[in-house]
Amino acid sequence: MNSLLPIAASCILAGGAIGYVIGNNGGEDAATENVAEKGKARVPGSSRSVGRSSSSSSNSTAQSSGKPSSYEEVANVPSQTARVQSLVDLYSNMSSEELAEAAEKLKGLPMGERFLAGSLLYAAWAEVSPYDAMDHANGQRGWESMMIKPGILQSWAASDPKAAADYYASNKSQFSAMGMMGRMGGGTGGATIAKEWAKQDPDGALAWAKSLEGRDGNDATSKVLAQIATTDPERAAGLTSGLEGDALTKANVDIAKEWAKADWNGAESFINGLPADQRGDALGAAVRSLADDNPTLAAKKALEIPEGDSRDDAIESVAESMSRENPADAAAWVVANGSEKAQRDSMRNVIGNWVVQDPSAAKAWAVAQPDGELRDSAVSSYVMSDNNGSPAENIQLAETISDDRSRGWSIGMTTMRWMGEDPKAASNYLESSEFIDEGMRKRILGRSGR
């Protein structure tokens, strides 16, 4: 069940982001996707349900061991980390039938709680009865179904990658959204299966990945090679023979990223041996890995990357790492060396870390920047990070943001916090502010229960 924790982390992050999108659209999609021809992809010899103890025996075991027996018990645990562990303990004691009942009970929870508990519940369910878990997920509302299924697929692949791969091959349309979610979604369904398969049988995983087509095959192959590179990057580099185009580019990027974590000199030698048009992306990935352990060297190497997205992403990673120790230096370095995009994107983490260390200095730096995207990003990041400051003062500062969307987001989130601290003053602001439209006012009042 320890495998559930990283699965939960990725699902929680994605779920939180999707939750915000849903909330800003004013509602959740109605149910979509039902399982077409249920069971058509079930694999002969692969049990539909792995038996667990009955309800009475599992409950008695939970009570005797001190483990929680219901979500209500878990919800009263004071620490978020402890709640996650308690959820793992709760769902690991349940049969498929009990997990189905527990999933229905989550529907009335606030979205954040629902995604936290649901990601763990469905991952646990996939270890017991993956077909039942997938059937149930496909009957949920559109956004929830989209967010739940990657975790099921990952958990299933961690315990039985061949069965997960067979189901995926016959039901690819169920996972089409995974390839459209960018970094947040963790890649395609093929990549999710390949990554878990490679931890158990890298050669078998690589053969399967190479049988896939298009982006799915490219992502899956690169994930397998990246996993091999965690222990033997030289072997992984040798296995790229025969790859071409996007498949080769992705593989080289992932190998460079993993190689740099253990041996920068080896990674740099590998990168220098790549075709010239592939070095920039590979170097960018390697620098992002290096930034955590050696931000000084990473800052130097980031400036060797050709201008473009890879350089911008590397600068953002270096700035975030630098800002953990010296945010003022990190901000100055970004302004001196980053593109407008890199400067804007880097401020989210630089200012966030700065607020933790010295909120007054962070605010003074943000306010002092000339009007434009950099100042907007810095001020917005300050306002969103300063949870201990005065909401009224922060809203006043947020009103100086020139970008409409960033200004609205900063004002809206700060007003939500203000409603919890001083509802009368916050309500007065909602009624009188020229920056609050009717839609935002209703959302804020609705979410605060007013």
Q: What is the pLDDT of residues 224-254, one digit of tens each?
A: 999 999 999 999 999 999 899 999 999 999 9
Q: What is the pLDDT of residue 438?
A: 86
**Mean pLDDT (whole number) for 370-398:** 96
Q: How confident is the model at residue 439 (pLDDT cuts 50, 70, 90)?
A: confident
Mean pLDDT is lowest, of 33-42, 139-148, 309-318, for 33-42
Q: What is the pLDDT of residue 450?
A: 60
pTM of the model: 0.76
Query: Is 368 inside any structural domain?
Result: yes
Query: Is 265 inside any structural domain?
Result: no
Say if residues 177 and 189 touch (Cβ distance below 8 Å).
no
Tally: H helices and E strands in the chain:
27, 0
Q: What is the pLDDT of residue 388?
A: 92
**Mean pLDDT (whole number) for 36-56:** 41
**Mean pLDDT (whole number) for 359-384:** 97
| Domain C-terminal end among 360, 388, 416 | 388
Mean pLDDT is lowest, of 88-102, 132-146, 245-259, 313-327, for 132-146
| Domain C-terminal end among 361, 388, 415 | 388
Q: What is the pLDDT of residue 82?
A: 87
Q: Which residue has the tokens 């931000």?
A: 295
Query: Is 331 inside any structural domain?
Result: yes
Q: At residue 52, does pLDDT exceed 50?
A: no
Q: How confident is the model at residue 177 (pLDDT cuts 50, 70, 90)?
A: confident
| Domain C-terminal end among 136, 160, 184 | 160
Cα(160)–Cα(154) distance, rounded to whole angstroms?
Answer: 10
Long-range CB contacts (within 8 A, 24+) of 398-404: 399/435, 401/376, 402/371, 402/372, 402/375, 402/376, 403/373, 403/376
Say if residues 187 and 219 touch (Cβ distance below 8 Å).
yes
Q: What is the pLDDT of residue 347?
A: 97
Q: What is the pLDDT of residue 9?
A: 53
Q: How confident is the model at residue 15 (pLDDT cuts 50, 70, 90)?
A: very low
Query: Is 69 inside any structural domain?
Result: yes
CA separation (Å) from 152 to 10, 99, 117, 210, 392?
Answer: 12, 13, 13, 23, 44
Q: What is the pLDDT of residue 182?
A: 47
Domain count, the chain: 2
Q: What is the pLDDT of residue 173?
A: 86
Q: What is the pLDDT of residue 19?
A: 39
Residue count (the chain): 450
Query: Is 110 inside any structural domain?
Result: yes
Query: Is 132 inside any structural domain?
Result: yes
Q: How confident is the model at residue 48 (pLDDT cuts 50, 70, 90)?
A: low
Query: Is 299 inside any structural domain?
Result: no
- CB hemisphere CA count around 297 (13 angstroms): 12
Query: Is 260 inside any structural domain?
Result: no
Q: What is the pLDDT of residue 140?
A: 81
Say if residues 113 and 87 touch (Cβ distance below 8 Å).
no
**Mean pLDDT (whole number) for 393-412:** 95
Range of the domain at 319: 306-388
Q: How confident is the model at residue 5 (pLDDT cuts 50, 70, 90)?
A: low
**Mean pLDDT (whole number) for 93-116:** 88
Q: What is the pLDDT of residue 143?
A: 74
Q: What is the pLDDT of residue 236?
A: 97
Q: What is the pLDDT of residue 401?
A: 97
